[in-house]
């Protein structure tokens, strides 16, 4: 639990999928967004609520969508569908900066 912080919580559901490394999916740790994040980061996370999840996998923070996929790839066939993560981060600060940038982009586009 490299990324456990005093201001975040661990959750057990939903369970992610990793078609490239099933063991990584079984050992992935799900996190709530830290309460100490900036207002912009929290607002964008609220905008994504229910459609975005954070997991600690292979010493990275992986942000995925409702597909719960932890790796990108696939060729579009029935047995190997396309899959994609939203982002991979080395630390919480990088994730917070990304959320803030996404918030700014959403405001500029008129979504928020």
**What is the rounded distance in angstroms from the CA atom of residue 93 to the CA atom of residue 50?**
22
Instruction: Please give the pLDDT value at position 44.
Output: 96
Instruction: Please give the pLDDT value at position 95.
Output: 97
**What is the rounded distance in angstroms from the CA atom of residue 81 to the CA atom of residue 58?**
22
Average pLDDT over residues 47-54: 91
Structure tokens at 16: 């992610």
Average pLDDT over residues 60-88: 83
Q: Provide the pLDDT confidence category of residue 96 given band limits of 50, 70 and 90.
A: very high
Secondary structure E strands in 1-112: 10-11, 29-31, 52-57, 60-65, 87-89
Instruction: Please give the pLDDT value at position 109.
Output: 95
């Amino acid at each position: 639990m490299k990324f456990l912080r005093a201001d975040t919580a661990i959750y057990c559901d939903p369970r992610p999928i990793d078609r490239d490394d099933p063991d990584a999916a079984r050992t992935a740790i799900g996190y709530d967004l830290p309460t100490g994040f900036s207002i912009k980061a929290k607002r964008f996370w609220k905008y994504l609520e229910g459609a975005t999840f954070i997991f600690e996998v292979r010493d990275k923070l992986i942000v995925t969508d409702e597909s719960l996929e932890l790796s990108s790839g696939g060729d579009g066939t029935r047995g190997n569908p396309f899959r994609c993560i939203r982002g991979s981060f080395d630390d919480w600060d990088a994730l917070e900066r990304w959320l803030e940038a996404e918030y700014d982009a959403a405001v500029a586009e008129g979504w928020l």
